[in-house]
C-alpha cells in the first residue's frame, strides 16, 4: 500500500501515459502502412481508448487505466502540448510566403474561397441542428458560428508536410496552398477567440474588454516582442542551433503568452499561436526550433491530447437516425464548402481541374486543428458531447480522405509535369520538412 499520495498519483498517471504511447505508436505505424499520415492513426488511437471501443469492450479495465483523478493530469499535459504545438504552427506560417502582389492576391482569393463557403454552409447546418444538439445556455448565434468556424479550418501542418514530401512547397501551387491554408487557420483562431470572449463573459462590455485585451496582446507580441527577439534569430542563424539559454527564452515567452490569454478568457492555444507569429522569421531559426521541439511535442504531448479528446468521444450513438442525419448534414456542409470552394478558386486562378481538385482534397482535411478548436468549445460549454463526437468523426474522415483525393486528382505523371512546369524541387532534393514527425 502506497502512503505517499503524490507517488500514488504518479503510479496511476504513468501507466495511462504508457498505454497512450504504445497504442498511438501502433496506430500511427498502421496509418503509415496504408499511406496515411501518422497523425490520423494517433487520432484514431485516442478514439479507440475512449468509451467508443475500449470503454465498451472492457469498461472496468478502461476505468482502471483512466480513473477520474488521472484525467486532470492528462488535461494539463494536453494544454501544454497544444500551446507548444500552436506556437510551432505560428512560427512556421511563413513557409507559405508568396512571390509578388499578384500571387498574394491569388492566395488571398484561395483562402477566402476555402473559408467562406464552409463557414456559411457549416453555419447553415448548425442552424438546422441547433434544437437537437445545442447545450443549455448557448444562443443559436453562438452555436451556428462555432459550427461554421470549426468546419472552415484546414490541417495546415499536415498539408505542409504533404507538399514538402512531394517537393511542391516552392512551386506556385504549393506557395498558394500554404498561404491560403495559413490565412484560413489564422482567421479561424481569431474568430474563436472572439466567440469564446462573447460566450465566457457576463455582458457585452466585459466581452469587449476581453477582445480589446486580446487585440492589444497580439499587437504587442507581433510588433514589440518580435523586435526584442530579432537578435535571437540572428544568433541562431550565425551559430546554426539553439543553446539552453535560447530555449529557456523561447519556452518562457510561449508559456507567458498562453497564461495571459488563459487569464483573460481566450484559452492558451491562442497565446501560443500569437507567440509563434512573434518569433524571428528567418529560415534557420524556424528549422532549429522545429528540430528541437516538434518531436517531443508530437511524440509525448499530442497523443495525450488525442486520448483526452477520445475519452470525451462516444461514437456508438451516431448509429441512430436522430444523430446520423445531423452528422451527415454537418459532414456534407464541411466537405462541399471546403473541397469545391478551393477547387473552383484554383481553377479560376488558372490551374487545371486536376490540380484544383488536388488542392481541394488537401485543404479539406481538418486533422489536429479542428480537434483543438472543438476541445476549446467543449471546455467552455459552447458545444456538448454529442456534437463534439460528430466533429471528431468529421476530423477523422476528412483527414483520411485528403491523401487519396490528392492522389486520385494528381497521379504521379501529372505531378511530375507540374513540377517541371511550375517550379519545385526533385523528390531527392526536397527531403521533407525539418519536422520529422508526420503531422
Please give the average per-residue pLDDT across 310-333, as a whole number: 87
Q: Domain for residue 283, yes or no?
A: yes
Is residue 408 assigned to a domain?
A: yes
| Res 294: pLDDT | 86
In a domain, 428, yes or no: no
Count of domains forming the chain:
1
| In the predicted structure, residue 431 carries a pLDDT above the cut 60 | no
CA 159, CA 154: separation in Å to the nearest integer? 8
Average pLDDT, the chain: 85
The H or E element spanning position 1 is none
As a whole number of angstroms, the distance between CA 386 and CA 383 comes to: 8
Mean pLDDT along residues 34-38:
87
Whether the full predicted model's pTM is greater than 0.75, yes or no, is yes
3-state secondary structure of 154: coil
User: Residue 430 domain-assigned?
Assistant: no
Overall average pLDDT of the 94-114 stretch: 73
CA distance 333 to 148: 9
Question: Which one has a higher pLDDT value, 202 or 349?
Answer: 349
Rounded average pLDDT over 355-364: 92
Mean pLDDT of 18-30: 95
Please choose, from the candidates 166, 34, 204, 174, the residue with its C-alpha nearest in 3D space to the C-alpha of residue 95: 174
Q: Show the CA angle centred on residue 359, arms to residues 353 and 365, nearest 5°.
A: 140
Q: Which residue has the higher pLDDT, 128 or 438?
A: 128
pLDDT of residue 423: 55
User: Rounded mean pLDDT of 430-435?
Assistant: 40
Which residues have a Cβ under 8 Å from the Cβ of 66 and sit 6 or more positions away?
Answer: 16, 49, 74, 307, 311
Q: Average pLDDT in the 380-402 region?
A: 91
Confidence class for position 346, pLDDT limits 50, 70, 90: very high
Q: Determine, yes or no, domain membership for 323.
A: yes
Q: Do the domain assignments include residue 54? A: yes
Q: Where residue 185 sits, what CATH number does that domain have? A: 1.20.1530.20
Which range, 96-105, 161-170, 258-267, is most confident? 258-267
Cα dist from 152 to 17, 54, 182, 205, whole Å: 32, 31, 12, 28
Contact 172, 389 (CB under 8 A): no
Asked, for residue 278, whether it belongs to a domain, the answer is: yes
- Given this model, what pLDDT does residue 1 score? 56
Q: How confident is the model at residue 410 (pLDDT cuts 50, 70, 90)?
A: confident
Contact 155, 371 (CB under 8 A): no
Separation of CA 431 from chain center: 23
Residue 290 structural domain: 5-422
Q: How far is CA 84 from the centre of its chain?
A: 12
% of the chain surpassing 90 pLDDT: 44
pLDDT recorded at residue 438 = 47
Higher pLDDT, 205 or 300: 300
Q: How confident is the model at residue 435 (pLDDT cuts 50, 70, 90)?
A: very low
pLDDT at 390: 94
What's residue 422's pLDDT? 65
How large is the average pLDDT for residues 325-340?
A: 94
SS3 84: helix
User: Is the separation of the CB atoms in 338 and 360 below 8 Å?
Assistant: yes
Lowest mean per-residue pLDDT among 256-270, 351-365, 392-406? 256-270
Residue 435 lies in a domain: no
C-alpha distance from residue 151 to each of 31, 40, 244, 347 (Å): 24, 18, 39, 22
Do 38 and 439 meet the contact criterion of CB atoms below 8 Å apart? yes
Amino acid at each position: 500500500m502506497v502512503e505517499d499520495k503524490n507517488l500514488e498519483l504518479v503510479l496511476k498517471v504513468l501507466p495511462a501515459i504508457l498505454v497512450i504511447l504504445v497504442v498511438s505508436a501502433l496506430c500511427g505505424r498502421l496509418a503509415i502502412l496504408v499511406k496515411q499520415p501518422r497523425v490520423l492513426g494517433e487520432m484514431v488511437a485516442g478514439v479507440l481508448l475512449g468509451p467508443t471501443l475500449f470503454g465498451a469492450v472492457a469498461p472496468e479495465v478502461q476505468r482502471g487505466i483512466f480513473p477520474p483523478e488521472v484525467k486532470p493530469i492528462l488535461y494539463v499535459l494536453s494544454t501544454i502540448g497544444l500551446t507548444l504545438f500552436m506556437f510551432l504552427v505560428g512560427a512556421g506560417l511563413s513557409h507559405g510566403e508568396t512571390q509578388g502582389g499578384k500571387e498574394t492576391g491569388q492566395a488571398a482569393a484561395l483562402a477566402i474561397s476555402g473559408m467562406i463557403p464552409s463557414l456559411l454552409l457549416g453555419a447553415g447546418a448548425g442552424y438546422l441542428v441547433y434544437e437537437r444538439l445545442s447545450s443549455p445556455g448557448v444562443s443559436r448565434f453562438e452555436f451556428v458560428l462555432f459550427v461554421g468556424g470549426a468546419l472552415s479550418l484546414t490541417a495546415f501542418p499536415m498539408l505542409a508536410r504533404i507538399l514538402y514530401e512531394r517537393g511542391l512547397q516552392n512551386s506556385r501551387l504549393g506557395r498558394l496552398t500554404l498561404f491560403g491554408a495559413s490565412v484560413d487557420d489564422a482567421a479561424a483562431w481569431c474568430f474563436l477567440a472572439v466567440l469564446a470572449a462573447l460566450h465566457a463573459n457576463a455582458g457585452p462590455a466585459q466581452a469587449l474588454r476581453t477582445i480589446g485585451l486580446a487585440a492589444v496582446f497580439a499587437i504587442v507580441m507581433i510588433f514589440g516582442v518580435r523586435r526584442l527577439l530579432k537578435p535571437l534569430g540572428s544568433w541562431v542563424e550565425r551559430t546554426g542551433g539553439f543553446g539552453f539559454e535560447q530555449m529557456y527564452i523561447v519556452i518562457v515567452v510561449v508559456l507567458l503568452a498562453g497564461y495571459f490569454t488563459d487569464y483573460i478568457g481566450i484559452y492558451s492555444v491562442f497565446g501560443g499561436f500569437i507567440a509563434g507569429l512573434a518569433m524571428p522569421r528567418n529560415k534557420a531559426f524556424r528549422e532549429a526550433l522545429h528540430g528541437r521541439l516538434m518531436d517531443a511535442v508530437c511524440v509525448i504531448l499530442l497523443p495525450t491530447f488525442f486520448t483526452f479528446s477520445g475519452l470525451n468521444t462516444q461514437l456508438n450513438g451516431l448509429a441512430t437516425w436522430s444523430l446520423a442525419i445531423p452528422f451527415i448534414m454537418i459532414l456534407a456542409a464541411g466537405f462541399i464548402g471546403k473541397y469545391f470552394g478551393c477547387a473552383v478558386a484554383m481553377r479560376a486562378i488558372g490551374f487545371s481541374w486536376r490540380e484544383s481538385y488536388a488542392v481541394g482534397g488537401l485543404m479539406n482535411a481538418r486533422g489536429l486543428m479542428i480537434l483543438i478548436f472543438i476541445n476549446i468549445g467543449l471546455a467552455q460549454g459552447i458545444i456538448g458531447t454529442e456534437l463534439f463526437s460528430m466533429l471528431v468523426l468529421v476530423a477523422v474522415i476528412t483527414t483520411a480522405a485528403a491523401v487519396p483525393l490528392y492522389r486520385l486528382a494528381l497521379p504521379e505523371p501529372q505531378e511530375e509535369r507540374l513540377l517541371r512546369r511550375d517550379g519545385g524541387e526533385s523528390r531527392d532534393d526536397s527531403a521533407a520538412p525539418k519536422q520529422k514527425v508526420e503531422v
